[in-house]
Structure 1
Amino acid sequence: MNRPVCPFQIAFGPRTIGAAYPVRAAAGRSEVAADLLLPPALAALAARLLEPGAAVPLGDAAELGRALGRALFTPVLRDALLRAARMAAAAHSRLQLQLQIGPPELAALPWECLSMGASSAWRPALRDDYALVRVSRGVPHPQPLVLHGPLRVLAIAAPGEELQLAALNTALAAAVRAGAIELQLVGDVAPATLERALLAGPVHVLHCVAPFGRSDRGLPRLLLRRGMDLFDLAALLADADRLRLVTLVGPQGDAGALVAGLPALAATLLTPRLPAAITFGAAVPARMAAEFAAACYTGLARGLPADLAVTAGRRALAAAGAGHGWGLPQLRMAPGGEQLFMPGRTPRMGYWPRRAVAGGALALAGALAIGALAQGGASGLLPSSLAQPAATAVLPSAQALLAQLPSATVTPSATATPSATATPSATATPSATATPSATAVPTPAQLPAPIAYATLLARPDDTLAAIAERMGSDASAIVSLNHLDASAALRPDRPLVIPVYRAAEPGVGSLVIRRANPAARNVALTFDIEIDAATLYGFLDVLRQRGIHGTFFVTGRWVMAFPDAARAIVSDGHEIGNHSLTHPSFARIGLDGAASEIEQTERIISEVTGVSSRPYFRFPYGDATAATADIVAREGFVAYHWSADDGAIPGWLDWAGQHPDEANGAILLLHGRASSVAALPGWLDRLAALGLQPTTLGAALR
């Protein structure tokens, strides 16, 4: 029987001006804070891993593991870990180290290689009593799936990677013969073939072998087959309601060079029904990937939680003499979602059930070992606080500990909340100066639904009352829809969306805006979000730390995949805009298709977040024509282009220093890329040095 889990949550926040990363660790109601300072070698490694297509030589893996251990487990965190281990031992539980890593440059590092001590190293990634996982916030997990037969594994491979399927078939042969696992191999990954395989019966684990690359916009992509990428795969998996784990294996390699592409993709696949993903931090030999998978999947079939099954896979690699290869498998999961399967019995509910299970001494012994390592590695040297056994009366009972444990993860920027229903967005409190986001009701309740929408540019002498009169609208509805300050005069040439309630003067038709107010020292900070939630949370953390707000253009497909992340945008006081449903080229889908993309996304955003995405729209790829811009206007939006995007922002900042007046009202665009999250603090510093205030579109347009 599996022991219950005591989570030790370590949350990494965005880098501060002093180059330190704030780190918060929590177990139960106990929480500590510290700073993570990367030594120059680790900082350089992290930066190189973020470069497009980077494959960075691993070098001395043992020394890398020790460097990671020294950097993370400062005395403050080490003491907190010891206390958490004692708490777990008292409750007959096992500790689980949950790494919640926001900054992409930190997420790229191989924390699974982490160790402490030299002669007798403590490596949590190889231990059941300190299982190490990466967690994604905002992803709830399903109840464990009861297996009334074998664990069904579907293995697919991109063209040229069939040898990896053969290696997996050999490694799983014994488990297949024993009836514990049913393995289906699909070498042709055409969508129709994969769909038939998914429909042939329930699939519990998908083992996917494929190279990865970058899209035209620099975003990571899984290269399954021409015309089929990660989004196509995710769409096919949406109906696989018994799928609980996806393993992504890259092309064969010698495990000698670290890569960040596949781990970055893992976060994009997690959903409330798919709570776990395994990736490798390097291209590994086919045999190594297969041996790991055999031990891991066999453990899952026996009912092992995912974290312990992955640990078993790592130990199998270590026992097989794979050198540093044991530290390459990475498990990303929803917090509390480690129990994926239960063999042939109804799962017991609850994240930390009260079960009297022997084995608490193991975790306590591990805690004492850590204490010894912290004091120089001598097994007889322990901190004075641990040298004397605690009195029995002082140890908390399992029931008391159960009441202390939160099920929500700790966020880097908000105080830990013990409520089991806490979400990442629930802890975020907008600052008092937050720019109002889109309102839940775009027009006053007493008005009927608009019969149409129109767009216009305000005239020099315009007032809200005059516009409402000639456009057949209502002044309060115009204020609400466009996020205006009703007490302030309208700026000439200010773009507006007008809700029309009666026939009147037509609007100007299509508008594509490339600059906000040229007379104010503001720049609009805008984001296009369409891939994953991890980069979104990275942006939110940086902005929250700086007290800055922006406008986030999201696709409907992304909102459906990450509803909690979409709600976090709104709860943090940011504006939300429409970026289409599926991110197509609007020039290729026809006018009806364009209208459908906009309408469906507005409906999804409104239903999920409670606010409207009007009046902000951004064309995918900036692909606007007069006809499609007119469709955007009819749907109640103004299209916003940009002055500079990620790749051009450094050059634009140089230009802005030479042409300060022309920089006013610029619209900056950041995509959901790890490199952009990492660069954002520096760009904000440069804007401040130039006297430019980054803000929302709504504020920059005033």
Structure 2
Amino acid sequence: MAERKSRLWVTVFVAVGMIMLLQYQPIHEYISFVKKEQTVTAEKILDEKERLRAQVEKWKAERDEAPIDAVIDPTWKAIPGYNGRIVDVDASVEKMLATGVAGPEMLVYKEVPPAISLDQLGAQPIYRGNPKKPTISFMINVAWGNEYLDSMLDTLDKHQVKTTFFLDGSWVKRYPEEAKKIAERGHEIGNHAYSHPDMSTLGTQRIHQEISRTQEIISKTLGIKPILFAPPSGAFNKQVVQIAHSSYQMKTIMWTADTVDWKKPSPSFVIKKISGLMSNGTLVLMHPTAASQASLDQLLTIAKKKGLQPVTVSEVLSSRRLP
């Protein structure tokens, strides 16, 4: 009888200890205790997995985010959507049990795409990314300015940034090695028409010619088929956007913030102007000029300090969430 009473008191003692742990100790300490305590019954007083699940469900309620549909804005035209996220409760619990560590940083997420994507909006110009996605792109239109290219490429490498270069077709034909240099550094290549015309004044045949000749020379020189089109000087009309979309499966890209570097402003002017316009989804227009070359390093630094990740235009437009 005494021995049975003794065993009963041991069981009660363990139970009380477990309950105290559950009430006052962090989950990861509880998991560690359970793994070391070999005498605890299969039920482990309060099931470890269910306790974890309850906590994960609380975190889930705080951290789930609904997706955002792509929309046509009266000012900014087509704005891409942004994936939502939900906590995968089962995967999160299993991960915590396997590692012995429990906390919000161990949650496993699933992305949820929006019901309406950018592609579903049809032929629309694009001026910016989704205002919830913390990205920015310093896109560079190239039709001249070879003397500044190497320095700008080196600055991008220094910051480990890949961006988008929109190349004029006739420039690629004249300077194929320069074009290859850009592509070999891992940057995205876009189409900037062939002869830098005012696209809004052209007839159908000439619009096709400007886009198709550039596609052909870029494909021949770099083995790349661009999916983005930037009209020279930002001049376009509905027909230009429609042809780029339907005939070449290309999105027409404009900009959110313009350095106006072709006017030869001072680097300090460019830095002050653009830093004040930086926000989620901003597309910054640059050219290989002295002003942009001299301001790029500081602009990349400022963007990162603002919590913005400098990326390609395609990444800004993607609904994918950043890691």
Q: CA deviation at 1:625?
A: 1.0
Match of 2:162 among 546, 549, 569: 549
Query: CA 1:540/1:493 → structure 2, altered by over 3 Å: closer, same or farther?
Result: farther
Partners of 1:494 and 1:701 within 8 A in 2: no
Query: CA 1:543/1:596 → structure 2, altered by over 3 Å: closer, same or farther?
Result: same
Equivalent-residue separation in structure 2 for 1:557 and 1:592 (angstroms): 18
Matches within 5 A, 1:140-159: none
Which residue of the partner structure matches residue 637 of structure 1? Answer: 250
Q: CA deviation at 1:687?
A: 1.2
Equivalent-residue separation in structure 2 for 1:490 and 1:606 (angstroms): 32
Matches within 5 A, 1:8-407: none
Equivalent-residue separation in structure 2 for 1:518 and 1:573 (angstroms): 26
Match of 1:619 among 217, 221, 231: 231
Q: Kindly provide the amino acid, as one letter, of the partner of residue 512 in structure 1.
A: P
Match of 2:118 among 475, 492, 495: 495
Q: Does 1:530 align with 2:152?
A: no
Q: Secondary structure at the match of 1:631?
A: helix
Match of 1:521 among 126, 134, 137: 134
Deviations 1:522-560 (A, max 9, x none): 112210011142222221111011111100000101101
Deviations 1:665-691 (A, max 9, x none): 111111121221111111112112212
Query: CA 1:655/1:563 → structure 2, altered by over 3 Å: closer, same or farther?
Result: closer
Equivalent-residue separation in structure 1 for 2:244 and 2:308 (angstroms): 30
Equivalent-residue separation in structure 2 for 1:618 and 1:607 (angstroms): 20
Q: Kindly provide the amino acid, as one letter, of the partner of residue 515 in structure 1.
A: R
Equivalent-residue separation in structure 2 for 1:685 and 1:643 (angstroms): 19
Equivalent-residue separation in structure 2 for 1:553 and 1:460 (angstroms): 25
Which residue of the partner structure matches residue 176 of structure 1? Answer: none
Equivalent-residue separation in structure 2 for 1:492 and 1:512 (angstroms): 20
Partners of 1:460 and 1:493 within 8 A in 2: no
Q: Does 1:700 align with 2:322?
A: no
Partners of 1:577 and 1:618 within 8 A in 2: yes
Q: Between Structure 1 and Structure 2, which shows a larger proportion of strand residues?
A: 1
Partners of 1:551 and 1:575 within 8 A in 2: yes
Deviations 1:359-380 (A, max 9, x none): xxxxxxxxxxxxxxxxxxxxxx
TM-score by structure 1 length? 0.28
Deviations 1:202-231 (A, max 9, x none): xxxxxxxxxxxxxxxxxxxxxxxxxxxxxx
Equivalent-residue separation in structure 2 for 1:686 and 1:666 (angstroms): 13
Partners of 2:80 and 2:130 within 8 A in 1: no
Q: CA deviation at 1:589?
A: 2.0
Runs (4+) of structure 1 exceeding 3 A deviation are: 456-461, 487-494
Query: CA 1:632/1:587 → structure 2, altered by over 3 Å: closer, same or farther?
Result: same
Partners of 1:516 and 1:524 within 8 A in 2: no
Q: CA deviation at 1:510?
A: 2.1
Which residue of the partner structure matches residue 202 of structure 2? Answer: 589
Structure 1 unaligned spans of 5+: 1-455, 462-486, 497-506, 657-662
Q: Kindly provide the amino acid, as one letter, of the partner of residue 694 in structure 1.
A: P
Deviations 1:206-261 (A, max 9, x none): xxxxxxxxxxxxxxxxxxxxxxxxxxxxxxxxxxxxxxxxxxxxxxxxxxxxxxxx
What percentage of aligned pairs have identical amino acids?
A: 28
Q: Does 1:650 align with 2:266?
A: no
Which residue of the partner structure matches residue 301 of structure 2? Answer: 685
Query: CA 1:553/1:459 → structure 2, altered by over 3 Å: closer, same or farther?
Result: closer
Partners of 2:124 and 2:241 within 8 A in 1: yes
Query: CA 1:688/1:585 → structure 2, altered by over 3 Å: closer, same or farther?
Result: same
Deviations 1:417-445 (A, max 9, x none): xxxxxxxxxxxxxxxxxxxxxxxxxxxxx
Structure 2 unaligned spans of 5+: 1-77, 84-109, 261-269, 319-323
Query: CA 1:457/1:678 → structure 2, altered by over 3 Å: closer, same or farther?
Result: closer
Which residue of the partner structure matches residue 578 of structure 1? Answer: 191
Q: Which has the higher contact order (CA 8 A, sep 6+)?
A: 2
RMSD: 2.5
**Count of matched residue positions in the alignment of Structure 1 and Structure 2:** 206
Q: Kindly provide the amino acid, as one letter, of the partner of residue 146 in structure 2.
A: A
Q: Secondary structure at the match of 2:276?
A: helix
Q: CA deviation at 1:606?
A: 0.6
Q: Secondary structure at the match of 1:524?
A: strand
Query: CA 1:640/1:649 → structure 2, altered by over 3 Å: closer, same or farther?
Result: farther
Deviations 1:299-344 (A, max 9, x none): xxxxxxxxxxxxxxxxxxxxxxxxxxxxxxxxxxxxxxxxxxxxxx
